[in-house]
Amino acid sequence: MQAQAETRQRLLDAAATTFARKGYTAAKLDEIAEAAGYSVGAVYSNFASKEQLFSELMAERAADRVGAVAEVLRSARPDQPGGAFGELGRLLIDGADKNIEVAALQTEFWLHAIRNPDTMGILAESTRGTLDLLLDVVTRLLEEHRVDQSIVSAEAFAVVVLALYQGLTRQRRTDPSRVSEDLFGQALSWQLAGMPKLRD
Amino acid sequence: MQAQAETRQRLLDAAATTFARKGYTAAKLDEIAEAAGYSVGAVYSNFASKEQLFSELMAERAADRVGAVAEVLRSARPDQPGGAFGELGRLLIDGADKNIEVAALQTEFWLHAIRNPDTMGILAESTRGTLDLLLDVVTRLLEEHRVDQSIVSAEAFAVVVLALYQGLTRQRRTDPSRVSEDLFGQALSWQLAGMPKLRD
DNA sequence: GTCTATACCCAGATAGAC
DNA sequence: GTCTATCTGGGTATAGAC
């Protein structure tokens, strides 16, 4: 890797954790630079402004956690003890528990995009990537459960899965006792069970 | 209403929209005071600090939108044309479309509570109020659909409904084309249809 | 209780040396 | 390309008058 590119990457990494921990406005470029092992000047040598640093991060990181989600979903074996997707849901919830910064950063992206419509396209595109990762996994799930995909599109289901994941993660942070490790898996299996099926 | 209490209320209202539009750190007390028709001094006569103003808002507003959610759910007549809960989902999504500030403020609350654990209790309590509003409504739904509540608790379902609502709202803002007005209602009806039922 | 004025500090961005 | 020093603006919080 070129020295330049490495600097950029380190700054982006430092920016990710700092923005996640403090929020966009409260995060200081000073702090980001220091966390990356550089000085403020380095930031401005590589990015036009704080705003642009954030935007680039948004483009780079939006699909982040989703990779893990898709990975887990892919390797998941449905219909296990403790309800279908029990294992799956637990893995995802555990991951979210351990890595609060990912959720915080994603949320920070959304708020920023809401307030700066010019950047919403970046977020939409990144999230599109996330959904694509989910798409082939949930397609397999729909097939296994013999769901009629002329009625329930895989795209729609992928969106619902992501929404559930985001919403439950948020509520679990707010009060863990309300969101058991099994809840995500249970909700998923109820969804699948209730969808219209292909005739035999 | 006492003059004092009225000032407080106006400041809280102004704070709500300003924090929603700009975010906690970027929102200026100056701006809030002006929006309320007062000056900065009035803020400090009524609240100890910016932080405390925000905390009080959090306690007061967390259940906000949920009132509407529960109201709609309560009056909703399931099993209508276009899929069960079609009307319901559309009303909720419409509401969210029109009032972006509520979602932004709630999200702002969550991020702030994540970063200031002392205030998480306030958010948890307020959200508890929201869930309580949902609880008796979803209980009715579970009964109507003859769901076995010894397996599926109304509390768990309420949490899932709220999670879905929050997640879909967020994704609809990101890209409306991915979240049709019907999707929330569809997801709800799939959920209910797939839950274990009481025997006849 | 509310206002105006000010103290105090802090952070984004730029200039110029290396 | 990176650093140090600085310019500049702005925002929380307080003091004192009314």
Which pLDDT tens digit goes with each residue over A166-183?
A: 999 999 999 999 999 999
Among B30, B58, B86, the domain boundary falls at B58
Q: What is the Cα Rg of chain A in Å?
A: 19
Listed as ranges, the nucleotides of chain D within 7 A of a protein C-beta are: 1-5, 10-16
Q: Which residues of B92-123 are buried (b: 16+ CB within 10 A; e: fewer)?
A: bbebbeeeebbbbbbbbbbbbbbbeeebbebb
User: Contact B183/A107, CB-based, under 8 Å?
Assistant: no
Which one-letter amino acid corresponds to residue A70?
A: A
User: B121 to chain A nearest CA, in Å?
Assistant: 8
**How many domains, in total, are found in chain A?**
2
pLDDT tens digits, A65-104: 666 666 766 776 665 655 668 888 888 899 999 999 999 9
Among A10-19, A135-144, B115-124, B151-160, the minimum mean pLDDT is found in A135-144
Instruction: Tell whether pTM > 0.75.
Output: yes
Average pLDDT, integer, range A150-176: 97
Q: Which residues touch strand C (CB under 7 A)?
A: A 27-30, 40-41, 44, 49-51; B 3-4, 7, 33, 38-42, 44-46
pLDDT (tens digit per residue) in A23-35: 999 999 999 999 9
H-run or E-run covering B85:
none
Residue B88 three-state SS: helix
Residues B53 and B68 in one domain: no
Q: Do the Cβ atoms of A52 and A69 come closer than 8 Å?
A: no
Written as one letter, the residue type at B86 is: G
Q: Same domain for A51 and A95?
A: no
- Residue A142: per-residue pLDDT: 95
Q: Specify whether A47 is located in the same domain as A90.
A: no
Residue A200 lies in a domain: no
For residue A62 the two structure tokens come to 């939006």
Contacts of A163 (CB under 8 A, 6+ apart): B163, B164, B166, B167, B168, B170, B171
pLDDT of residue A85: 81
Q: Are residues B69 and B100 in the same domain?
A: yes
The answer to whether residues A27 and A100 belong to one domain is no
Percent pLDDT > 90 in chain B is 78
Indicate whether B20 pLDDT > 70.
yes
pLDDT given for residue B99 in this prediction? 93
Q: Give CA angle at B19 (A178, A125), nearest 5°.
A: 75
Q: Containing domain of residue A44, as a range?
A: 1-57
Instruction: Look at B115 and A167 and tell me if their CB atoms are within 8 Å.
Output: no
